[in-house]
Amino acid sequence: MQSTTWSRDLRVTADGTGVVSHVGAVLLRMLADRAGLTQAISGALARPAWWPTHDRGRVLVDLAVMIADGGEAICDIDVLRHQDEVFGPVASAATCWRALDEIGHAQLRRIAKARAQVRARVWALLEQLPPARAAGRDVGDGVVVLDVDSTIVLAHSDKEGAAPTYKHTYGFHPILVTCDNTGELLAIKLRPGNAGANTAADHLQVLAEAVAQIPAAHRRHLLVRGDSAAATHAVLDWLVEQGAKRGRQVEYSIGWAIGEAERTAIAGVTTSGWSPAINADGGIRDGAQVAELTGLPALTGWPDGMRVIVRRERPHPGAQLSLFEERDGWRYTAFVTNTAVGALQWLEARHRAHARVEDRIRCAKDTGLRRLPSREFAINQAWCTATAIAVDLTCWLQLIGLDADLALAEPKRLRYRILHTAARLARGQRRRYLRIPATWPWATQITAAFDRIAAIPAPG
């Protein structure tokens, strides 16, 4: 049997009826409605009753659904728009452009407030999940971990704000904050490509916006992690003040640059001063050790209680070492924290988990952040907000609706298995039925997700 004969009797026509693609987009849109997100954003972007226009909350949520579904340009909204038998009226690409163009600083603040209100409701729903389904996504009485970092978004044309970056590329340099507990994208600020990595004002803005996104009942114990770009007096002082003034426990774990004072302190650590490092699972990490430098380098002017912890490990082949590192063959990294208790190994492993923010950034780039649609900076900032909503919807779908490997799948796999599924649309008993092929391996999980989302109480 020839392997190329499978298409011999295949013919393609354009006269099909009752067929729907991108069924998973229905899941995302239903979730936005049932969680109250559509209504909240509609209220935030309310227009006069006489204004003949599409509801702006509906438009922005539909854009977010399109982005979560893999859309990379505003014209991709047509994938939803031309399936009105399922989605009903969907705004045109031109209307979406106008909706984004109308979003200024005041509208961004109102959208952020609406997102925070809905997030509180979603987190309350997450606390009601069975322990088996909530494993690894704790939003209960534990620590809420915020990871701040920046990334580069390339621009291949002369967009407003695009500029040469420190990586010798051309584009933008957004800064964002994600929630390590849930994977949500809490806050994002679009910046020109030449924006500084350690600009304290930008860090303070996104951190303040991210903290405001956390439901009030969960702000009692926060951990903020970042790389050395966040190790500025302004940022660390602000974090300490947040704990002192707000009556909450705010810890930080921030990367620290190794200068001459730190190198002198490292040279003075005895062999017994180094302890084996551990992996995330608690096992010993071969070839890595940790030690505390607190009290050895001068920390004049830095917050009281700040500890300096250093890690050394044998570098991988080909790694570039500094002159100091070449002397003994170890590679050194350091961070600072105000956590007063806990073994050094545990504190270092906790800080190293900040690397997960790179996974969050990669997922955000796979969900709209990789390509900015407009030449205008303000429209691109509004697109970033829609991207943040899309990331949140994807996370909520996985947390509330999905199980097993799909609950942890990255966006591309989720689209390939769930969001882009096709079905047959049938009608009967005054209802519409989306009939997913019984042979589709993930059909049961899709129907279970629909049932779970439909069971969410309607917002009051």
In this predicted structure, what is the pLDDT of residue 364? 96
6 falls within a domain: no
Q: Tell me: do 210 and 316 sit in the same domain.
A: yes
Q: Tell me: do 153 and 266 sit in the same domain.
A: yes
Q: Tell me: do 328 and 444 sit in the same domain.
A: no
Q: Find the domain containing 357 and state its range.
A: 136-369
- Here the CATH number for the domain that contains residue 149 is 3.90.350
DSSP per position, 26-88 = HHHHHHHHHHTHHHHHHHHT---TT--S--HHHHHHHHHHHHHTT--SGGGGHHHHT-HHHH-
Q: Tell me: do 178 and 254 sit in the same domain.
A: yes
Q: Tell me: do 329 and 385 sit in the same domain.
A: no
**Amino acid identity, residue 342?**
G
In this predicted structure, what is the pLDDT of residue 297? 81
Q: Determine the distance from the C-alpha atom of residue 291 to the mean position of all C-alpha atoms in its chain, rounded to a whole number.
A: 32
209 versus 294: the higher-pLDDT residue is: 209
Q: Tell me: do 188 and 303 sit in the same domain.
A: yes
Q: Tell me: do 210 and 315 sit in the same domain.
A: yes
Instruction: Give the separation between CA 449 and CA 452, rounded to whole angstroms.
Output: 5
In this predicted structure, what is the pLDDT of residue 345? 92
Instruction: Give the separation between CA 436 and CA 40, rounded to whole angstroms.
Output: 31
Here the tokens at position 57 are: 């909350």
> Pick from 369, 401, 423: which residue ends a domain?
369
Least confident of 30-44, 288-302, 333-347, 380-394: 288-302
1 falls within a domain: no
Q: Tell me: do 389 and 269 sit in the same domain.
A: no
- pLDDT tens-place string over residues 268-286: 898 899 999 998 888 888 8
In this predicted structure, what is the pLDDT of residue 44? 94
> Pick from 320, 348, 369: which residue ends a domain?
369
Q: Tell me: do 199 and 287 sit in the same domain.
A: yes
- pLDDT tens-place string over residues 114-166: 999 999 999 999 988 776 555 455 665 689 999 999 999 999 888 999 999 99
In this predicted structure, what is the pLDDT of residue 50? 56
Q: Please tell me what DSSP assigns to residue 354.
A: G
Give the residue among 304, 311, 200, 324 at the shortest CA–CA distance from 261. Answer: 324
Least confident of 200-204, 324-328, 390-394: 324-328
> Pick from 369, 401, 436: which residue ends a domain?
369
Question: At which residue do the structure tokens 């009290």 appear?
Answer: 295
- Return all residues near 400 (Cβ < 8 A) that are at least 6 apart: 31, 122, 125, 126, 129, 452, 453, 456
Burial class of residue 371 in the structure, from the number of CB atoms within 10 Å of its CB (0-12 exposed, 13-18 middle, 19+ buried): middle
Confidence of residue 306 (pLDDT cuts 50, 70, 90): very high
128 falls within a domain: no
SS3 assignment for 392-435: HHHHHHHHHHCCHHHHCCCHHHHHHHHHCCCEEEEEECCEEEEE
Q: Tell me: do 22 and 158 sit in the same domain.
A: no
First to last CA, the chain: 62
Give the residue among 371, 368, 370, 399 at the shortest CA–CA distance from 385. Answer: 368
H helices of 219-291, where?
Answer: 233-246, 260-267
120 falls within a domain: no
Instruction: Give the separation between CA 369 and CA 386, rounded to whole angstroms.
Output: 10
241 falls within a domain: yes
Strand partners, 175: 150, 189
Give the residue among 267, 324, 322, 275 at the shortest CA–CA distance from 296. Answer: 267
60 falls within a domain: yes
66 versus 267: the higher-pLDDT residue is: 66
Q: Tell me: do 60 and 22 sit in the same domain.
A: yes
5 falls within a domain: no
410 falls within a domain: yes
Total residues belonging to the chain: 460
Number of domains in the chain: 2
Q: Tell me: do 330 and 413 sit in the same domain.
A: no
DSSP per position, 369-396 = IS----SSHHHHHHHHHHHHHHHHHHHH
**Contact call for residues 155 and 169 (beta carbons, < 8 A):** no
